[in-house]
Structure 1
Amino acid sequence: MKRYIVGLGEALWDVLPEGKKLGGAPANFAYHAGQFGLNTIAISALGEDALAEETIEALKEHNLNYLMPQVPYPTGTVQVTLTGDGIPTYDIKENVAWDNIPFTDEMEEIAKNARAVCFGSLAQRNVVSRENIRKFLDATPEDCIKICDINLRQQFYTKEILEDSFCICNILKINDEELVVVNRMFGYDGLDMRGTCEKIVQDYQLKMLVLTCGTNGSYVFTDDGLTSFQDTPKVEVADTVGAGDSFTGSFCASIINGKPVQEAHKIAVRVSAFVCTQNGAMPVIPEELKK
């Protein structure tokens, strides 16, 4: 069986001012990692409704492999409002299909053959999905890269969820605003940004911590003391929906394809900047970026 790069968690539609677009971090991550030639799959759950059929059609249009059992809850949606700077705010509907992801035999087989898995905190807001995401991660091989891309939306996170996720993953991705919340929640007061990142790497025995700071650049801190910094390119922003997921997907793909951390970081920054110039989360990446 082929080894998979897995996006695991919420499947939903971003309802944007110009219309709805398929979203959710797992599909976005899998789509962008797949553009670098990897065998990717998005795992979640869909409802038994018309929107589920639209989801399946959209996944097929993007040539994206998926495993999304249908459950008796509505397919997820998010109302997205953009500021004048193109920064999104979200109203994430509750009690939806991705809150109730099952753990099937087929999922377990994929987990046993996973090369990398990206998961987040948002999909763990409900106990059903949280427990089954843990079962999936527990079934992965020793060499599996487990990326936690935390996603602190609305009230949908707790210290327990974050701490458990930090313990399970070996790469943590976080942005500067989320780092402030974690710093306060975990009692890292008195540490600066670098100190907090290095403390998290040490405390949770991570291989890497990726910190994105919007227009102020991004960092990768590794367990062997390496720090990589990249400026954020100045581009004309259409919207930033999915930009972070494109960063994670291209960074993961580059690491798996054997790139050094600094080069993987540079690729991720360039891909993310390009996605910001496009509407929606899943544009086709130009060939020169993939090369």
Structure 2
Amino acid sequence: MKDLFINLCGAAPKGAWHLLLIEENMKHISSDKNSDYKDLLNLLEGSQVKKQKRTLIFGEKILNEWLADPKYHCQMLVHWSEEKLAPYLKTNSTMALILTKDLYYELDAFGTGTAIGVFNIPEIQFNSFESPPKGLEVIAACGDPNNLGALIRTATGLGVRQIILTEEACHPFHPKTIRSSAGSVRVAPLQKGPSIRSLNAEIGFALDMHGQNIHQMNWPNDVRIIIGEEGPGVPEALKSNSLSIPLHPEVESLNAATAGALAIMSYMTAHKNG
């Protein structure tokens, strides 16, 4: 039987350790043909995050934040080393999954070398836009997980009231989105919405290179900003009520996350004394 020394305080291994037998909650996988391992590997794709309703958390800081948040349930912790998992296992109710080194490094897509958490993800409320906005709300169709993560980090940090993801957006709990958001997806005010192609110009102000100069915008208190897909941008139906960010003539456009951040900051600056 394998014994693990578990720090019951959940901190790094300092001082006294308590002996806790968790053989019944430990599993070893040594084959890439194992179905459980394949399921974990598939979580590196956004479609599987949606299907399995769980995600992978990488990096010591983000993992500790998720473990401390009662809204999120950790199904299991994964590593090749039992010793590396020991500091995280506060009770014997969390599964410890021990992989071979080769399998672990294949799963560790970001090269963290630390324990990987497998967490259930919550259902995201649907917004049908039947009610007017309250404060600043951002509608995003970002299909690139790195762009979406950066946008979520900025919007959450600056106090956007809602971040509404259209059907075109990638999954907010995609591991790449979580990592590029520096873990802020965990506390982001997320909602999901319909396709960006179903929206009309009355919904909010779309970001488009041919819109009104954003520096001339008189921002209302309650408003929505619409950020289109990378490449296609926003549909024609939304361009009649759009804002543009002035650029150097030889710079064609900004990526979605940067454009969104500038628009959010423009609104926040206008209402800094509000």
TM over 0.5: no
More helix by share: 1
TM-score band, normalised by shorter chain: under 0.3
Question: How high is the TM-score relative to the length of structure 2?
Answer: 0.25
Q: Under a length normalisation based on structure 1, what TM-score does the superposition of the two structures give?
A: 0.24
